[in-house]
Amino acid sequence: MRAIVTGLNGTVAPVVSELLGRNGHTVVGWQRSAVPTDDETAILKFLEAYNPDWFFHIATGSPAWAELIAKCCAQKKIKLLYTSSVSVFAASQTGPFSITAVPRPEDDYGRYKLHCEELIKQHKPDAIITRLGWQIGDSPGSNNMIDYIHKQVKEKGQIEASSNWFPACAFLEDTADALYRLMTKYPGGLYQLDGNPGLSFYEIVNHLNNLHGGVWRVVSADVPVINNRMMENCISLDSITNRFQGCA
């Protein structure tokens, strides 16, 4: 199969691309310098040139870009997967959120992601829309939990982690595997991918500290008080605890 993937300079897309390659699929990255995101004719020509079976829209970009991708994929009958975010739910909402929970975003990023979801559903009702939590990589350098921890330790000499924050999160490799399974085996619809079975941020950071040699000073905090975990009954995502076993 041939897949177009946006966001190859980001966090999730490179891991998805590597997984696709390992499984024998051809990956074509979207180069914004070559294919303008606001030119429907150019996008259609791009799709016609590569004739993809799948389209993974993982990059951050304007709602208008997401809308054009959905319109063009619908016209060319290309299976589309879009990665949204748990941020469509406000911090004031209390999870874990079911697939039928109504998002009420209170910040610009959450409103942006929800708007993209709505535009994609409008123009391509059979698209796969996946809400992701905070991704856990294995090193700093991209927008993931490990990078955040390293920055906090570098700045403050320690990481303050709330025992009252239960974040939606997953290891990058597990997210990529779930996105691949959704594309290859599942119909269109809304899916939520969360690997946290109920651990607080403080517990997660301590487990990660053990995995990374115990080099961080971890301090328990009381704030923020947030539960933005998500639930999904249609597709399983490996629990983050599977990678913590033997490291307690």
Question: 190 has which bridge partners?
Answer: 129
DSSP state of 242: G
Single-letter code of the amino acid located at 7: G
Q: What is the CATH number of domain 2-135+168-193?
A: 3.40.50.720
3-state secondary structure 71-128: HHHHHHCCEEEEEEEHHHCCCCCCCCECCCCCCCCCCHHHHHHHHHHHHHHHHCCCCE
Mean pLDDT of 1-18: 97
The answer to whether the 2-135+168-193 and 138-166+198-234 domains have the same CATH topology is no
State in Å, rounded, how far the first CA of the chain is from the last one.
41
- Domains of the chain, residue spans: 2-135+168-193, 138-166+198-234
Which pTM does this prediction carry? 0.95
pLDDT, one tens digit per residue, over 16-73 is 999 999 999 999 999 999 999 999 999 999 999 999 999 999 999 999 999 999 999 9
Q: How confident is the model at residue 132 (pLDDT cuts 50, 70, 90)?
A: very high
State the DSSP H helix or E strand holding residue 5, giving kind and residue range, or none if neither.
Answer: strand 2-5
The arrangement of secondary structure in 138-166+198-234, i.e. its CATH architecture, is Alpha-Beta Complex (3.90)
Q: Residue 209 has what pLDDT?
A: 96
Alpha carbon 227 to its chain centroid, in Å, reads 18
Whether the link from the prior residue into 140 is cis, omega within 30° of 0, is no
Tell me the C-alpha distance between 229 and 82, whole Å. 20
Residue 56 is given by DSSP the state E
Separation between Cα atoms, residue 88 and residue 190, nearest integer Å: 13
User: Are the CB atoms for 172 and 137 separated by under 8 Å?
Assistant: yes
Per-residue pLDDT tens over the stretch 201-235: 999 999 999 999 999 999 999 999 999 999 988 89
Task: Say if CB 119 and CB 66 are below 8 A apart.
Answer: yes
- What are the Cα distances from residue 70, in Å, to 63, 107, 118, 170? 11, 24, 11, 27
What is the C-alpha to C-alpha distance for residues 181 and 194, in angstroms, rounded to an integer?
A: 15
Q: Is the pLDDT of residue 195 over 70?
A: yes
As a residue count, the chain comes to 248
Task: Tell me the Cα Rg of the chain.
Answer: 18
Q: Largest alpha-carbon pair distance within the chain?
A: 55
